[in-house]
């Protein structure tokens, strides 16, 4: 059967099981948009290519399936570089199709030509310029295989216009043959035995769970390991939900704005069991001072992560789920064989003391004060279904969301961790809702973040995707203000935005949403309840919050985790 390259491309996406893709057409990709009309794949027309990329990410976060975005050449391709980098940093499976000028025009500075493959090489797991229509089914199949295996990541396929228009003989590859690409999934048996021995011998162990747990579908295995060994678990920003927050062994989030208990337990541990986590600087603080007495077991499917920041005593390359399952079997065998686990009662008592003395806290609003953002999040948390998907932007509201929500199920938290992309939440929430229409999806955004990609709510309204957005409007770039207040002697340079400009209610209504404004504590719950009842269009609530509020605890950048700054009410008498 003869097809055009464009028809073969869409047919290949169908063969990969793609049900939805996010995109925006243009000249070079037009031949590919024509067969979309006859395809069962749902196409969601975005308002900006960055939105398409973040929607694909949100879809992948919430479903575990690769998100797909399709845009044209030149500026469209450069507009989607940020989502590609975001997905690369956070190991999100994504396939992006870009149009390219005709192959004969490449290198001539043709209209809307740019070196997309060159630009995206360092922010994709793999990218490829297709020069022959006959190659398209093979390249698409390889793209999905690479995006979803090993350490997941974004793959880009660049298709010149003449390649899309050329004819080819249709085929579908029965298998993928990529010499040199063979991710290691099974951990080394000798390393797993050594890890099991270390775990049972440790008196102050902590499981340091990262986003790799979620990518590997390893949440159940993690819980089995923690309960078998009675070891506390910290969940990084990317791993929130991988271990239930309401579990007795959960210590919450570590890092720059982690809980005092999670940060201090890691710092004082004699063994860190790092599972799918990458020792990033927001967790370690000053690397030389990080967890100085701890031996490290590091499990990661990416061999490049081993020893990149902290040299492990037991490096294990492999899929987190498979390695944890083997580890559990090995520990059970050791226990059955008479090996005794070291006494950790003193350690558990210390952890319990930290929990009791240093919980997350904030000063409630006094009468006449602006809303406290933490209060808004608590109300939102307590008045939405337990399986609600929470999507955040980047900044103070992101940290408060991670701190004050209760993530008891995996895949209920969507955010930009590694790249820290402002403007992520609105389009990512749309993608998450498309992937999980059965779930309520709330986006928590800052006013600065919201202004970057809010236009995608027009997409949501047009497509009847009923996401809900809570703007924590403090009229500032909040986290930048916090740093200027704490580290630049309150010299507030270029961070003020204004609470009233734009008028978020009118803006929301202009985009086809329901717009609400909340200024007093007693108005918070009725607004949330009203938003929860609306299911035929997006809702935006403008919560006017206190600009003076800061995120605590905090480990200042470049400092040791020993220098953690507590909320004012807890500072006196803080000690380990």
The torsion of the CA quartet 377, 383, 385, 391, rounded to 10 degrees, works out to -20
Q: Which of 111, 220, 506, 530 is catalytic?
A: 111
The torsion of the CA quartet 53, 57, 60, 62, rounded to 10 degrees, works out to -130
Report cis status (omega within 30 of 0) of the bond before 502: yes
Active site annotation includes 479: yes
> Which SS3 state, helix, strand or coil, does residue 38 take?
coil
Active site annotation includes 49: yes
Q: Which are the contacts of 427, defined by CB distance < 8 A and separation ≥ 6?
A: 46, 50, 51, 52, 53, 54, 55, 58, 453, 456, 459
Strand-pair partners of 58: none
Active site annotation includes 111: yes
Q: Which of 19, 112, 134, 325 is catalytic?
A: 112
Spatial CA neighbour of 389 closest among 241, 284, 522, 289 = 241
> Which SS3 state, helix, strand or coil, does residue 314 take?
strand
* Residue carrying structure tokens 């749309």: 430
Residues in the chain: 576
Q: Which of 7, 16, 21, 49 is catalytic?
A: 49
Asked whether the beta carbons of 232 and 335 are under 8 A apart, the reply is no
Alpha carbons 190 and 467: distance in angstroms, whole number: 49
Q: Which of 161, 215, 468, 550 is catalytic?
A: 161
Q: Which are the contacts of 62, defined by CB distance < 8 A and separation ≥ 6?
A: 389, 411, 414, 431, 432, 435, 436, 439
Q: Which run of H or E residues covers position 420? A: none
Alpha carbons 474 and 482: distance in angstroms, whole number: 12
Asked whether the beta carbons of 224 and 327 are under 8 A apart, the reply is no
Active site annotation includes 506: no
CB-neighbour burial class of residue 368 (10 A; exposed 0-12, middle 13-18, buried 19+) = exposed
Alpha carbons 371 and 27: distance in angstroms, whole number: 48
Asked whether the beta carbons of 217 and 248 are under 8 A apart, the reply is no
What would the DSSP string read from start to end of 537-548?
S-EEEEEEB-TT
Q: Which of 238, 256, 422, 479 is catalytic?
A: 479
Catalytic residues, which ones?
49, 111-112, 161, 479
């Amino acid at each position: 059967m003869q097809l055009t390259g464009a028809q073969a491309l869409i047919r290949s996406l169908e063969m990969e099981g793609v049900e939805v893709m996010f995109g925006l057409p243009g000249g070079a990709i037009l031949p590919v948009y024509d067969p979309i009309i006859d395809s069962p794949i749902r196409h969601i027309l975005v308002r900006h290519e960055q939105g398409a990329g973040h929607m694909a990410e949100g879809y992948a976060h919430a479903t575990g399936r690769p998100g797909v975005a399709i845009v044209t050449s030149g500026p469209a391709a450069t507009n989607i570089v940020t989502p590609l980098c975001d997905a690369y940093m956070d190991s999100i499976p994504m396939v992006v199709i870009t149009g390219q000028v005709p192959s004969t025009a490449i290198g001539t500075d043709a209209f809307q030509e740019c070196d997309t493959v060159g630009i995206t090489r360092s922010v994709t797991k793999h990218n490829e310029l297709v020069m022959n229509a006959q190659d398209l089914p093979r390249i698409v199949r390889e793209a999905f295989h690479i995006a979803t295996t090993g350490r997941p990541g974004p793959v880009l396929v660049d298709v010149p216009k003449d390649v899309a228009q050329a004819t080819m003989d249709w085929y579908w590859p029965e298998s993928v043959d990529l010499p040199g690409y063979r991710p290691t999934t099974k951990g080394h048996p000798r390393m797993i035995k050594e890890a099991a021995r270390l775990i049972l011998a440790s008196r102050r162990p902590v499981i340091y769970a990262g986003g790799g747990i979620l990518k590997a579908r390893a949440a159940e295995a993690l819980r089995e390991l923690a309960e078998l060994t009675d070891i506390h678990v910290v969940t990084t920003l990317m791993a929130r939900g991988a271990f239930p927050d309401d579990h007795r062994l959960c210590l919450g989030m570590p890092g720059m704005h982690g809980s005092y208990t999670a940060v201090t337990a890691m710092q004082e541990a004699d063994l860190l069991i790092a599972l799918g986590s990458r020792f990033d600087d927001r967790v370690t603080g000053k690397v030389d001072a990080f967890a100085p007495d701890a031996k490290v077991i590091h499990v990661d499917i990416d061999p490049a992560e081993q020893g990149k920041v902290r040299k492990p005593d037991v490096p294990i390359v492999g899929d987190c789920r498979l390695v944890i399952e083997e580890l559990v079997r090995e520990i059970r065998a050791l226990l059955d064989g008479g090996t005794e686990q070291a006494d950790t009662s003193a350690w558990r008592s210390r952890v319990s003391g930290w929990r009791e003395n240093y919980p997350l806290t904030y000063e409630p609003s006094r009468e006449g004060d602006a809303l406290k953002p933490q209060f808004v999040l608590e109300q939102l948390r307590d008045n939405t279904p337990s399986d609600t998907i929470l999507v955040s932007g980047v900044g103070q509201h992101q940290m408060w969301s991670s701190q004050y929500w209760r993530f008891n199920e995996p895949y209920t938290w969507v955010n930009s961790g590694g790249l820290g992309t402002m403007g992520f939440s609105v389009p990512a929430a749309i993608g998450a809702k498309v992937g999980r229409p059965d779930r309520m999806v709330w986006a928590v955004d800052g006013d600065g973040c919201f202004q970057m990609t809010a236009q995608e709510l027009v997409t949501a309204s047009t497509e009847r995707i009923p996401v809900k957005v809570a703007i924590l409007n403090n009229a500032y770039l909040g986290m930048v203000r916090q740093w200027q207040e704490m580290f630049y002697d309150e010299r507030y340079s270029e961070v003020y935005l204004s609470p009233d400009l734009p008028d978020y209610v009118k803006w929301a209504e202009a985009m086809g949403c329901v717009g609400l404004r909340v200024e007093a504590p007693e108005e918070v719950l009725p607004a949330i309840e009203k938003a929860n009842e609306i299911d035929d269009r997006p809702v935006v609530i403008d919560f006017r919050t206190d600009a003076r509020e800061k995120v605590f605890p905090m480990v200042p950048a470049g400092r040791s985790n020993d220098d953690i700054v507590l909320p004012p009410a807890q500072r006196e008498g803080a000690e380990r």
